[in-house]
Amino acid sequence: MAQLKNISIVLKPKAISEFESILPNLASWLLRRKKTVFFLLKDKERVHKIFKGDLKNLNFIEESDLHKLSDLIITMGGDGTLIGVCRNVIKSSPPIFGVNMGHLGFITEFAKAEFFDQLENTLKGNFQTTVYHLFHVEVFTKKSDKPSFKGFFLNDAVVNNNQVSRMLTLTVESEGEHIYNLAGDGLIISSPIGSTAYSMAAGGPIVHPMVNALTLTPICAHSLTHRPLVVPDNSNIIIKAARPDESFKLTLDGQQQVTLGSDDIVKITKKKTKIVHLVKNPTRTYFRTLKEKFTHGSREIK
């Protein structure tokens, strides 16, 4: 395994005070191990405040160069910070070491109070990664084969109403076959890793991350017959408005949003050439995490 020399640190947006003690310690710790430390150029002013103006031996790179120039990326924030880094992968990411600075942090593997030992092992090459593929979202109009929008998601894509207090009607298809017409507040298309996010809150199933699937979870369906549906992740999912006067929103991972109209068609496919590698915490298992974060199955039998 190649030496992990260039270490990039990505911070949760806007936060300053919560980084004032941990971040200078982390940078010094890495520098003592002869590592080159990078931050994003867009965070330079904030890093300046956190380090009290002492930016000696720190380097700054453009966000577009993050995956290309890094041997290891450390994200410090929550799941949103980690997901944002993953969505911007070019082809295959370097190992990504997620540190949870908050409370929930389901896919950020390491707690802020105890990550240094595991980071030491990672720098020595003693680590394993979990591999995930991104999902590709394209928007076409009925009059054009050229996409008007392209994006990616790791967790989920959400199609919901663009108008207050009005029901949205969608047509959902897969592999050329009509699945259903859905009337309600919208639809969540989630990956297994995203099944414990918005989809779960809307009544969708918890899907183990090693299952190759996509889950279609209706949001407040205006019917007793529309249930969450699990389909193979190599399926092409097509979503479009069922009525000519519809407008709706498409949101990717809760971070990127586009407004669409009745002539727009959303196509979702698995992107096999967009791969992320998340460093695994050897002290943590999936089912243990479910119990800790969501008290899933934690009730004792007496």
Q: Using the structure block, give the residue that is written with the tokens 């290309």.
A: 68
Distances (CA, A) of 20 to 26, 49, 102: 11, 9, 15
- The answer to whether 298 and 127 have CB atoms below 8 angstroms apart is no
Structure tokens at 234: 């190599």
Distance CA 48, CA 8 (A): 16
The question of whether 43 is a catalytic residue gets the answer: no
- The answer to whether 173 and 238 have CB atoms below 8 angstroms apart is yes
Catalytic residue among 43, 54, 65, 79: 79
Structure tokens at 203: 């009544």
**Nearest in space to 135 (alpha carbons), one of 257, 28, 274, 279:** 274
DSSP states of 152-214 = EESSEEEEEESSTT--EEEEEEETTEEEEEEEESEEEEE-STTTTTHHHHTTPPP--TTS-EE
Phi–psi pair at 176, nearest 5 degrees: 80, 5
Distances (CA, A) of 192 to 37, 92, 156, 206, 209: 33, 19, 9, 8, 5
Distance CA 39, CA 44 (A): 7
Distance CA 211, CA 214 (A): 9
- The answer to whether 136 and 271 have CB atoms below 8 angstroms apart is yes
For the annotated catalytic residues, the residue numbers are 79
